[in-house]
Structure 1
């Protein structure tokens, strides 16, 4: 997905790439309607500060940071697919599947799906280390790196209490470590105030995992545009 924004009169140009999974890919939004949060963010950035901006989503449904599966792992595609891009100013990393799949219950319902995802299960420390690698590589390229917190998946076939605890630990680190140039707190936007292990019912597509149009709109509008100044 490639969004060109701005007119010829704007001399400045910035390129922002979003590295992620199905929620970055916009699974659950209305097909062909440009209702992914990346689409809406691009629209919000129009005319923000007189800069011509290109917001490029590199989200792959089922993608993970550390292991291949549906698509090459995010870390493996980071240098060539993301950081080597001329004019790159910002990278947003929003990948939560490593923990979701590692802690998912092994049942008849999940076995076929999980069989597509090889590699060893990952831990909280593994996930933190992967985020640190993204940040370190980005800094070498002079790029600002932002991280999104991981939204819950309670109510889905992938949910376990242990996985949710690991997710909360990673989110606490993302929010407080000071490692990133900014944090997009998508967990705070989507989680149900009455049950923090679940997405609000009106914000997901029905299976408690990807969002819907309203959910992606909420994510996009939660992002402070000053992050991209």
Structure 2
């Protein structure tokens, strides 16, 4: 046993076992050349306007590698996006700073700049910068776009920075202002060669997005799940966060802050990411909350889940369901006994239908023992709907790693 209590195996035996699991999870998985190691689901933001600004964004990767690439998105933009200068570096000792000695210039098709068409995305050239698993990275880029709306992610769970002009290579950006949102940066992929590796994508809403988690603390449930997976897989399997605050399974608007529906965006945010071989679907609370009074959306949700499952399986991705967590006490605009009945029907279907490859009982992990329609006070983030750091950890710890890595991991 190791100090962490994990059982170890010889590197050869472990590699063979993980190869076998990946081969079952997705054809050709063991030959993947890159793996999604950080992600941000893209929607549309009204403010602030970052055109002509350098944006410095911070991200903690999951799986490490000798090289990595960046994914930028203009997929909800209405005008061309120019990326005029981009750099990556390790964070510095003071907030918003970087270690200049670790700075690397980012290129696109060998050039320093690129223009991204509306509705499109772009992937950078590989950056030769070896990174260990769970390394924090700073991405600084100067953006220019005439689009009146910004492409980004409202709740970044990080403190990022913007400054007018080009400051991408500076240790401390002069004139910088803090923001809790992310802009244009949609993903980071690690180059892992032909070593067996993979990623679990966590599709969800604000609970997956980590609302009320400690900003910059990496305390969302996908963060904790990534730590568990990496420790149990010799740092070859991680997790990415495909949560989006306000998102719904059934409805949505790609040109709004809540983004396209989960059914519509799963192809981009999950199946379009390299090395994703497993998917956790944990979404539906917003559909129940926002349904017109007296409307039972359980059947619609179940049908929509079926479409997400079908898309995942067509792509060779194993798909897991997570039961919906309690929200009694969130207020009359959110909760009613009728809406609780819908949640119970949806959860009962998840537990008994066999539609998913496995079901993770997030509801049981965080509900109050005496009042099962409510969150356990220890895990309540304060609004009786979202969780605190301990609650998000409880969700991650409710995932049996054997369902992903196989028995005897």
TM-score (norm 2): 0.50
Work out which of the two has the higher radius of gyration on C-alpha atoms and give 1 or 2. 2
Q: CA deviation at 1:202?
A: 1.6
2:401 & 2:225 partners in 1: Cα distance?
9
Structure 1 residues 37 and 43: CA distance shift in structure 2, 3 A:
same
Equivalences for residues 151-190 of structure 1 within 5 A = 151-157=325-331, 158-190=334-366
Structure 1 unmatched runs, 5+? 106-120
2:293 & 2:371 partners in 1: Cα distance?
19
Aligned to 1:19: 203
Q: Does 1:138 align with 2:312?
A: yes
Residues 201 and 270, structure 2, Cα contact 8 Å, conserved in 1: yes
How many residue pairs match? The answer is: 214
Structure 2 unmatched runs, 5+? 1-37, 40-60, 67-191
Residues 7 and 52, structure 1, Cα contact 8 Å, conserved in 2: no
More strand by share: 2
Structure 1 residues 122 and 130: CA distance shift in structure 2, 3 A:
farther
Structure with larger RCO (C-alpha < 8 A, sep 6+)? 1
Q: CA deviation at 1:224?
A: 0.7
Give the 4+ runs in structure 1 shifted more than 6 A. Answer: 7-10
Q: Does 1:71 align with 2:254?
A: no
Q: 2:291 aligns with which of 85, 92, 102?
A: 102
Aligned to 2:397: 221
Aligned to 2:373: 197
Q: Secondary structure at the match of 1:195?
A: coil
Q: Secondary structure at the match of 1:189?
A: helix
Q: 1:209 aligns with which of 385, 390, 398?
A: 385
Aligned to 1:108: none
Q: Does 1:90 align with 2:264?
A: no
Offset from partner CA, 1:23-57 (integer Å, 9 cap, x none): 10011111100111111111111231335123110
Structure 1 residues 204 and 169: CA distance shift in structure 2, 3 A:
same
Q: Does 1:31 align with 2:215?
A: yes
Q: CA deviation at 1:11?
A: 2.0
Q: Secondary structure at the match of 2:379?
A: coil
Structure 1 residues 192 and 103: CA distance shift in structure 2, 3 A:
farther
More helix by share: 1
2:353 & 2:299 partners in 1: Cα distance?
13
Structure 1 residues 61 and 122: CA distance shift in structure 2, 3 A:
farther
Offset from partner CA, 1:143-174 (integer Å, 9 cap, x none): 00011100111001211000000100000000
Question: How large is the RMSD of aligned CA atoms in angstroms?
Answer: 2.0
Offset from partner CA, 1:166-200 (integer Å, 9 cap, x none): 10000000011111011111101111111111101
Offset from partner CA, 1:56-112 (integer Å, 9 cap, x none): 10101111011015111111111122212232200111112111221679xxxxxxx
1:47 & 1:202 partners in 2: Cα distance?
26
Q: CA deviation at 1:133?
A: 0.6
Residues 296 and 342, structure 2, Cα contact 8 Å, conserved in 1: no
